[in-house]
Structures are given as structure tokens and as C-alpha cells.
Amino acid sequence: MAAASIWALAAGYCWRRWANWASSDRWGVDIEQAALRSAAAMLHAMLLERATLLRGSLWEPVGAARFDIVVANLPHFAATEPSDPDRSPYWSMGGVDGRHLLDPFLAGLGMHPTTVSPLITHNAFVGVDRTEAILLEQGLVSRGVLATTVPLHPAKTALLKAAVRARFTGAGISRLGPYEFADVQILEIRRA
């Protein structure tokens, strides 16, 4: 591990945040080649070209590497089909319950210890209780460090599984007239 290493499994704004942290060693993982090209271009524009960008799924490309900081913004919307034909097929698709990638990421987190608590984005309607149970099995706990409510695009709400909507309406999903909103948190994860 370098003096300061950062690992990001991210999309969009997380890549930007990851690039802004002072570090002698940056690692980035994404399953999409287009996302890695975008990250490389962003790093070049910021004059921060010292980074290792790897294509692959979750922890697989980094093996047993350890990092000082881990940042993740996984697709974890409860949908099994793309909500936007102009975006990547991976965008927002988290499986039937939104946990298709979230659970294996969390399960691997304990095998990649960090010196700074990892940060992940987390939709409230994918079950924070289940996240906490997976973390606890590894001796980890989470706490919310930032919470907000965001509007859900109608194309996404049309794909939201009925069971998820029924379970989380009023507890992570809210409605105002024809509009739906989701509670989202940034979770900090640390040793119990």
C-alpha cells in the first residue's frame, strides 16, 4: 500500500471527488470502458494523471490490495432493466431489490481494510438494515454522514418493482402528487 492510496468504485460525481483527494496513489475500478475513458480524461484535465484505472467487477481487479480510502457509488436502484436507453445498461440497475452489486461489494469490504472509513451512497429503499447485517458479520458498522431526498425520474419510477414500492413507501420513498422521491444517504463504514 502506498503512503496514501485511494480506491474508487464509482460513477459520475464520485470519480470527481476521488480525483480531488490528495494522494500519491489512486486506483479506480469500473465495469464500463466508457466510464474509465471519462475518468482518464477528467484526470488529464485536472493534471492528475497518476492513477491506475482498471476494468472489472467490484473487487476482482484489485485482488487483496489494501487502500487508505474507499469510495463507492454502486448502481442500486431496484430495477432489472435500463431506465434510460441513452445510458449504459449498468446505470441504476441494481436487480430486483437493488442489492445485486451492493451485497457483494459490502461482503468484500472487510477483506480490504482501510485507514479512513469507506464512504458509500445508499438508497434508503434498498434496506439499510440488511446493509448493517452484512457489515456486522465482518466486524463493521455504518453511520449516515449525509442524507438528502432526491426526485425520482418518471422513467425510473415506472421500473421500480411493486414489492419494493409497497415495502418502502413512507420509509425511504415518498410521493407528492404525481412525483416520487427517494431518501439517499452517504454511509461511513468503520470497524465495530
Q: How far is CA 163 from CA 7, 74, 79, 125, 126, in A?
A: 34, 21, 11, 11, 11
Give me the pLDDT at residue 1, please. Answer: 33
Question: What confidence score (pLDDT) does residue 133 get?
Answer: 95
Enumerate domains of the chain plus CATH numbers. Answer: 5-147+186-191 (3.40.50.150)
Amino acid at 25: D
Q: What is the pLDDT of residue 81?
A: 79
pLDDT values of the chain reduced to their tens digit, one per residue, 192 residues: 333 344 444 444 444 555 555 555 777 888 888 888 887 887 788 776 677 888 988 889 888 888 777 777 788 888 887 777 777 766 778 888 889 989 998 998 888 766 667 777 888 888 889 999 999 998 999 988 888 999 988 888 888 888 888 999 999 999 999 999 999 888 888 888
Residue 184 phi, psi dihedral angles, 5° rounding: -130, 140
